[in-house]
Structure 1
Amino acid sequence: MNQAAAASPVVTIVALCYNHARFVREALDSIRAQTYPNLEVWLVDDASTDGSVAILREYAAANPAWHTLLLPANVGNCAAFNQAFRRARGEFFIDFATDDVLLPTRVAEQVAAFQQLDASYGVVFTDAELIDETSRHVRYHYRRPAPGQLHPRPASGHVFAEVLRRYFISTPTMLMRRSTLAHLGGYDETLAYEDFDFWVRAARDFQFHFLDAVTTRKRLHPGAMSRRGYRPHDPFLASTITVCRKALALCRTAEERAALAVRLRWELRLAVRWSNFAEAAELYALLREVRAVRPLDWALGHYARLRR
């Protein structure tokens, strides 16, 4: 290890693959192109069926310091990430889906940002470029309607209420402090997806920092997890409801409960729109617990109870 690497904190990239054969070479090449000198790489395959494993083995053979974890059965993103997290040694972690792409200075920029922050900060996140299946530009995560304006407006610092109220973080851009993940016990493996739960639990005890830079190319394609939400029999909606229940238990102020009500109201409307009536009834019950029911909420909740 050279002197620069020895003086730099270890950053672990957990490269999670599930049927990403079309994209995984570009993703892994972007790891190799990083300018940061002290990386630990874990290639984790969640029982792919499309030839991804052969490509992962090829890259592992060409990069002997990289680690491989080829799971015999599909366990989902949360459990797959945790298996690598428990084995890894990094001070910082990137949860990297291998259909996305890291820009070359991604790790270096985010570590430099962390080094200007105190230990109360658990996450640094950034802007992202959204790309299509052929890696062509679509748009950026944050729209910039005027100089100095970003939409959605990113929040920094104590963001617990903000992550309840609205979506503003581009998940693939996060660099997470190991101690934050350890404090949470890693991801909750009972959930179908990780980001909302991580934001809620991490933001309760740690600050988040927004770095205004584009560090990641996030791929949009029909197989992406984000494209499966809010459809009939949405596999992620039950997890969202579970996280909202956790959030209610974590709320300490009237402002935080009001922020949670905004989230519940949004999820209730989408659940009814897509005919997830049983889940809509659960969301309405949570709104009643928050004591934030409005007339339209009551109407939607009553309709959901009749239709479930």
Structure 2
Amino acid sequence: MPNSSSPIPHSSLNAAPVVTIVALCHNHAPFLREALDSIRAQTYPHLEVWLVDDASTDDSPEILREYAAQNPAWHLLLLPENMGNCRAFNTAFVQSKGEFVIDFATDDVLLPARVAQQVAQFQAAAPEVGVVYSNCELIDEASHSLGLHHRPDGPGQLQPAPASGWVFAEVLRRYFISTPTMMMRRACLESLGGYDETLAYEDFDFWVRASRDWQFLYLDEVTTRKRKHPRSMSAKAYQRHDPYLASTMRVCDKALDLARTYAERAALATRLRWELRKALRHRHAAQGRALYALLRQTGHATTLDHLLGQLARLPLG
């Protein structure tokens, strides 16, 4: 048994990394107290919290001021104009200090052990792991359960199937990560220069750029409650005047530059084929033509893809 007067090893002094939570709010007043209370309920104590309001027009700023006053160590940023998620997040991120970072939309809820579980996973992982993500429970506007994101199928496998390790081709091919569950290594985010502020949303671009040089790790735990409601970002996808489709095409263009192998280009072709069909289904002809052009550049366009490309040339209304 060590002598109580022995010096504490240096590694022990650094055993509890700080985790930055960037709590992003835009008109989340109905859900905000539940979200902020879930930060206060975390079992992991070493938190740096940034409350960022992206020019809300509801009662959100007043609620954020209230919580900031009750928690003097928390940082409050009330942005004077709407910047969008990417720029609003970066505004706090560049001022923050945590070794690990959570991008927390304040219509979601963190389960109490969330931060502790993910920090433990990072500490047991290799240094090239840049992201730990997990399962989540989907909830409605009244916080009623809608089921899980990763759901067990008949044989006991999870659907969508999570992936760990070098997942670049997987993030090109399919959607499987629940964005609100991610904890990111600061060094990973910094290596990318934070989020791309020219985009309308952040997650697909982050997955593509981060997974090229960093591993992702799946934690088989439910750590988060993700809220589904008509005002959420995901609910706006592919609607008329969709603000996100142009960003998706720019990310796919980046992915084409990053894809190095036949298999990676084939994976990107799968994604582009899916996006092309959705664009045409929602009568986005110009975007369909652009997606088809990218699909051809992968070298994996099929006869059916060529027919869809011809369809995109027609006036779809």
Compute the TM-score of the two structures, normalised by the length of structure 1. Answer: 0.97
Correspondent of 1:150 among 144, 148, 158: 158
Correspondent of 1:184 among 188, 192, 202: 192
Rounded to whole Å, the distance in 2 between the matches of 1:90 and 1:98 is 19
Q: Deviations for 1:155-196, whole angstroms, at most 9, x for unmatched residues?
A: 000000000000000000000000000000000000000000
Quote how far apart the aligned CAs of 1:219 are. Answer: 0.2
For structure 2, the residue ranges without an aligned partner over 5 or more in a row are 1-11
Counterpart secondary structure, 1:202: helix
Correspondent of 2:65 among 57, 64, 72: 57
Correspondent of 1:12 among 20, 23, 32: 20
Rounded to whole Å, the distance in 2 between the matches of 1:295 and 1:270 is 18
Query: Is 1:109 paired with 2:117?
Result: yes
Rounded to whole Å, the distance in 1 between the matches of 2:289 and 2:116 is 46
Q: Deviations for 1:82-107, whole angstroms, at most 9, x for unmatched residues?
A: 00000000000000000000000000
Q: Say whether the 8 Å CA contact 1:5–1:37 is kept in structure 2.
A: no
Rounded to whole Å, the distance in 2 between the matches of 1:254 and 1:207 is 20
1:1-308 residue pairs with structure 2 within 5 A?
A: 7-146=15-154, 148-307=156-315
Q: 1:263 to 1:237 in 2, by over 3 A?
A: same
Q: Deviations for 1:34-81, whole angstroms, at most 9, x for unmatched residues?
A: 000100000000000001000000000000000001100000000000
Rounded to whole Å, the distance in 1 between the matches of 2:209 and 2:283 is 29
Q: Decide which moves more: 144-153 or 101-110.
A: 144-153
Q: Decide which moves more: 229-238 or 197-206.
A: 229-238
Q: Say whether the 8 Å CA contact 1:8–1:37 is kept in structure 2.
A: no
Rounded to whole Å, the distance in 2 between the matches of 1:147 and 1:109 is 27
Q: Say whether the 8 Å CA contact 1:233–1:276 is kept in structure 2.
A: no
Quote how far apart the aligned CAs of 1:148 are. Answer: 4.0
In the alignment of these two chains, the number of paired residues is: 305
Amino acid in the other structure paired with 2:53 = D
Quote how far apart the aligned CAs of 1:147 are. Answer: 5.8
Report which of the two structures shows the higher radius of gyration computed on alpha carbons: 2
Quote how far apart the aligned CAs of 1:291 are. Answer: 1.6
Compute the TM-score of the two structures, normalised by the length of structure 2. Answer: 0.94
Q: Say whether the 8 Å CA contact 1:130–1:217 is kept in structure 2.
A: yes
Rounded to whole Å, the distance in 2 between the matches of 1:28 and 1:212 is 24
Quote how far apart the aligned CAs of 1:5 are. Answer: 9.6
Sequence identity percentage:
68
Quote how far apart the aligned CAs of 1:298 are. Answer: 1.2
Q: Which residue of 1 aligns with 2:3?
A: none
Rounded to whole Å, the distance in 2 between the matches of 1:251 and 1:113 is 29
Q: Which residue of 1 aligns with 2:6?
A: none
Q: Say whether the 8 Å CA contact 1:76–1:192 is kept in structure 2.
A: yes
Q: Decide which moves more: 229-238 or 121-130.
A: 229-238
Q: Say whether the 8 Å CA contact 1:31–1:102 is kept in structure 2.
A: yes
Rounded to whole Å, the distance in 1 between the matches of 2:301 and 2:221 is 39
Q: Say whether the 8 Å CA contact 1:20–1:52 is kept in structure 2.
A: yes
Rounded to whole Å, the distance in 2 between the matches of 1:74 and 1:86 is 18
Rounded to whole Å, the distance in 2 between the matches of 1:7 and 1:240 is 39
Counterpart secondary structure, 2:152: coil
Quote how far apart the aligned CAs of 1:231 are. Answer: 1.7
Amino acid in the other structure paired with 1:179 = A
Quote how far apart the aligned CAs of 1:285 are. Answer: 0.4
Rounded to whole Å, the distance in 2 between the matches of 1:113 and 1:148 is 23
The Cα RMSD (Å) is 1.2
